[in-house]
Amino acid sequence: MEMAELVALLTPDGLRLLDETSATADVAHEVSRLRAAGHSPELVSAVVGQARLRARARAKFGDFAGGMLFTASGLEQATRLPVAALHARRFRDAGLARVADLGCGIGGDAMGFSGVGLDVLAVDADEVTAAMAAYNLAPFRPGAQVRHARAEDVDLTGWDAVWLDPARRTAGHTETTRLTRSEDYSPALEWAFGLSAERPLGIKLGPGFDRSAVPDEAEAQWVSVDGSVVELALWFGALARPGVRRAALVVRGDEAAELTAADDAPDAEPRELGAFIHEPDGSVIRARLIGEVGRALDAGMLSPGIAYLTGDAALTSPFVSSFRVREVLPSDVKALAKELRQRGIGTLEIKKRGVDVDPAALRKRLALRGPGQATLILTRIGDRRLTVLADRVPR
């Protein structure tokens, strides 16, 4: 969205029109209908685009999405509201009442801070994005302020702590490209890390951030939501928990579970295939805490260097997906297809690690049919391919 579109939208008539516009109708039809009604091209573009973004945003913001404004790139990078609430509670529990949110985007984290009663200064270097953050935070004022400025130019006097979400994509409001080098982030990470010497600091980074670049004094917390790893949060000073340098936070629906450790955990010892296979959550893998989970489940590594655990104990946890082993099947596709047909399996979940297999292409070649369902786990032990038929254990 450009400034002209935002100006056209931020009027009583523009916002009313947005609330009345369907997100599911054909785009060309909606544009033609609104233009025929005499609305300007800028307003029509803004309204149709926002209606669709609001529909997409429900996955991150729930019912709040219907009263918010977005850019496409801002929504893509925004923190999910349940995760923003967890960030905010960490600041509140540390006794920090006034938070400067630098690189606030469309205001997801700032909403979380305000929602738990913190005063927040939300800052973004992009004028349109800052304006949208101001709109989204309006219900929370006077405890929330919004400023259009570069993070490096903000006077932090009087603010207890900083939350920083550096720009990790190229500039723009629509299609953007992920920046692969941390030195290209804005603001630069060297400057960002330097803030930790002045006041408590939290930094949101992508989950694939180079672990070797994590400062020794930081607590590194990988967060997954409904099975997808969404961020790496680095915590400094009073926001870092004593004795914790690695954490995996797993959020599923309204439930959250966390695994913490003083450092990377050594892997559990390898063992033969048992009655169960456990697939660690992505946050556990990123945090290198697979061994912690394995020992808690009385399980070992199915193969060194591959993130599957196996054991005989009928145990599971929030940190893994567990599968009860039925049997080992041939890895040859023709023989495998025959075995699956004999068992009447028509619905097959395919999991893989350590093997070069395209699950969609394999499913097509298997020509599945029948009323049964199962999970197929494809992996290797050393140089040997392993194909396991299993059943997912309900959580």
Q: What is the pLDDT of residues 268-305, one digit of tens each?
A: 999 999 999 999 999 999 999 999 999 999 999 999 99
Is residue 45 in some structural domain?
Answer: yes
If asked whether residues 281 and 239 sit together in one domain, one would say no
Tens digits of residue pLDDT in 329-359: 999 999 999 999 999 999 999 999 999 999 9
Length of the chain (residues): 395
Is residue 271 in some structural domain?
Answer: no
If asked whether residues 242 and 107 sit together in one domain, one would say yes
Is residue 336 in some structural domain?
Answer: yes
What's the chain's Rg over C-alpha atoms? 24
Q: What is the DSSP string of 212-267?
A: GGS-TTSEEEEEEETTEEEEEEEEEGGGSPTT-SEEEEEEETTEEEEEEESSPPPP
If asked whether residues 90 and 148 sit together in one domain, one would say yes
- pLDDT for residue 181: 60
Quickly state the pLDDT bin for 22 (edges 50, 70, 90). confident
If asked whether residues 96 and 17 sit together in one domain, one would say no
Q: What is the mean pLDDT of residues 67-96?
A: 95
Count of domains in the chain?
3
* pLDDT, mean over the chain: 93
C-alpha 333/C-alpha 352 separation (Å) is: 15
If asked whether residues 241 and 287 sit together in one domain, one would say no
Cα–Cα distances in angstroms (integers) from residue 266 to residues 135, 281, 346, 379, 383, in the given order: 48, 17, 39, 21, 23
- pLDDT for residue 176: 54
**Max Cα-Cα span within the chain:** 72
Tens digits of residue pLDDT in 186-211: 888 999 999 999 999 999 999 999 99
Contact between 268 and 300 under an 8 Å Cβ cutoff? The reply is yes
Q: Residue 242, Cα to own-chain centre: how many angstroms?
A: 25
Is residue 66 in some structural domain?
Answer: no
If asked whether residues 295 and 194 sit together in one domain, one would say no
If asked whether residues 45 and 91 sit together in one domain, one would say no
If asked whether residues 252 and 359 sit together in one domain, one would say no
- pLDDT for residue 290: 98
Cα–Cα distances in angstroms (integers) from residue 14 to residues 34, 43, 46, 164, 262, in the given order: 11, 7, 9, 32, 53
Is residue 192 in some structural domain?
Answer: yes
Angle formed by the axes of helices 81-93 and 108-115, nearest 10°: 50
Tens digits of residue pLDDT in 112-131: 999 999 999 999 999 999 99
Residue 171 has pLDDT above 70, yes or no: no
Boundary of a domain, candidates 236, 261, 286: 261
Tens digits of residue pLDDT in 139-165: 887 779 999 999 999 999 999 999 999
Residue 240 has pLDDT above 90, yes or no: yes
Contact between 366 and 338 under an 8 Å Cβ cutoff? The reply is no
**Exposure pattern of 297-312 as b/e (b: 16+ CB <10 Å)?**
bbbbbbbeebbbbbbe
Is residue 63 in some structural domain?
Answer: no
If asked whether residues 147 and 211 sit together in one domain, one would say yes
Residue 248 has pLDDT above 90, yes or no: yes
**Exposure pattern of 31-41 as b/e (b: 16+ CB <10 Å)?**
bebbeeeebee
If asked whether residues 163 and 209 sit together in one domain, one would say yes
If asked whether residues 234 and 349 sit together in one domain, one would say no
Q: What is the CATH number of the domain that holds 246?
A: 3.40.50.150
Quickly state the pLDDT bin for 23 (edges 50, 70, 90). confident
Is residue 151 in some structural domain?
Answer: yes
Q: What is the mean pLDDT of residues 250-278?
A: 96
Q: Supply the range of the domain harboring residue 318.
A: 276-392
Quickly state the pLDDT bin for 4 (edges 50, 70, 90). confident
Quickly state the pLDDT bin for 177 (edges 50, 70, 90). low
Is residue 70 in some structural domain?
Answer: no
If asked whether residues 137 and 235 sit together in one domain, one would say yes
pLDDT-above-90 percentage for the chain: 83
